[in-house]
Amino acid sequence: MSEIVDVGTLRSWLIRFAGDVEEHSAELTELDSAIGDADHGSNLTRGMKAVVTALLDDATPASIGPILKQSGMTLVSTVGGASGPLYGTLFLRMAASTGDCDAIGPASLSKAFHAGLEGVMARGKAAAGDKTLLDALIPAVEALDSALAEGQPFEEAIRRAADAAEAGRDATVAMLARKGRASYLGERSVGHQDPGATSLALLFRAAATTMIDGQDGK
């Protein structure tokens, strides 16, 4: 129970997220066409396909930090636009936090998400309420943290994180965009769901599904 994310689970998470992004690609692009430039679905699908290709390569690393690092670097180099460097930073900072190991427990996972969040905030200079992917990421990281602090079992904690990411995504509809392309629209950005927050919620739902499955298999 203490080490809940091993290499197999991490790989499954990334592969599942790639599939979910591809499945929701049209929806992500449609959201981005309302308040951006209609490329979020194609950007992230391309990036996550490249992440999976690298994971399936014989030369892929076999431990947690290096896998996260490879994935982050792949996203930075294959995704143009704001989301590539931001998702890339999330994974790169998580990699630096976990280091080179075979498995991590709930506390290390939570610490890694915190490090990732700080990196994304430093890179994008956005804050809570600016109508960005942070509005899904911040509540997810906080929910994971407080559930673990309350002594909830990991399954429940990661499920609450995914629920919080989705609630955060939904809350972006009413927000006025202050960062990224959507901010050019000013008041007209209100009433639309943020594409980046939408993909970020997929990332946490994929984490919950994969990590809970991983637990069941143990």
Residue ranges binding ligand ADP (CB under 6 A): 32, 36-37, 39-40, 43, 81-83, 86, 124-126, 132-134, 179-181, 194-197
> Out of Mg ion, ligand ADP, none, which partner does residue 133 contact, by CB within 5 to 8 A per kind?
ligand ADP
Burial 130-139 (b: 16+ CB within 10 A, else e): bbbbbbbbbb
Integer Cα distance of 6 and 204 in angstroms: 17
Integer Cα distance of 199 and 185 in angstroms: 21
> Out of ligand ADP, Mg ion, none, which partner does residue 45 contact, by CB within 5 to 8 A per kind?
none
CB of 184 to ligand ADP, least distance (A): 10
Q: Is the CB of 42 or the CB of 63 nearer to Mg ion? A: 42
> Out of ligand ADP, Mg ion, none, which partner does residue 158 contact, by CB within 5 to 8 A per kind?
none
Q: Is the CB of 24 or the CB of 40 nearer to ligand ADP? A: 40
Is 84 in contact with 48 (CB distance < 8 Å)? no
Q: How far is CA 135 from CA 26, 40, 82, 122, 158, in A?
A: 21, 17, 15, 15, 17
Q: Is the CB of 109 or the CB of 137 nearer to ligand ADP? A: 137
Q: Is the CB of 141 or the CB of 197 nearer to ligand ADP? A: 197
Residue 95 in tokens: 């990699």
